[in-house]
Amino acid sequence: MPDGNLDTTNFILAIMAVVSVLEALLLIGFGIGGFMIYRRVMQLVADLEARQIAPLREKVDAILGDVKAVTARVSQQTERVDHAISGTMERVDETAERVKDTLRDRINHAVGVVRGVRAVIMSLLGSDSRHEPPAAAAGRA
């Protein structure tokens, strides 16, 4: 009887060994299949990138180059306009200051003339009704 038991045990161990080998082969097959799928997917991605993404990237790079050029031109033109406006404002300020000084001089001259004429008129009108100085008037009293 012990031989029959040992035969059954050996038979079960043989089945387990065969199943283990089959599992190992199956895992190796899955590994090889996964690697082949990975290579195909990577080749597909590379082809897709070469056919679709590379031309789009070139177009985007060209557009970005144009945008940079336009931005640089706008910046340059803005600087020019700012410089022109600053120069114009300085000239306007200088002109306003000159006009103000000129008007002040002419008004001062006109005021001086008017005061002189007034003084002459007051002198002429005051000579008819001339009052004695206060010191002389006080000595008489």
pLDDT at 5: 74
pLDDT at 129: 52
Length of the chain: 141
pLDDT at 141: 46
Give me the residue label for tokens 């008489």: 140
pLDDT at 43: 95
Task: Give the 3-state secondary structure of residue 4.
Answer: helix
Domain boundaries, the chain: 2-126
HSE of 116, CA atoms in CB hemisphere, 13 A: 6
Contacts of residues 81-84 at CB distance under 8 Å and 24 or more positions apart, as own/partner, are none
Residues in Cβ contact with 131 at an 8 Å cutoff, skipping those fewer than 6 apart: 137
pLDDT at 75: 93
Tell me the average confidence (pLDDT) per consecutive run of 10 residues in the chain, 141 residues long.
72 95 97 97 92 87 93 93 90 92 91 91 74 52 46
Task: Give Cα 35 distance to the centre of its chain.
Answer: 49
Whole-number Å distance between alpha carbons of 109 and 107 = 5
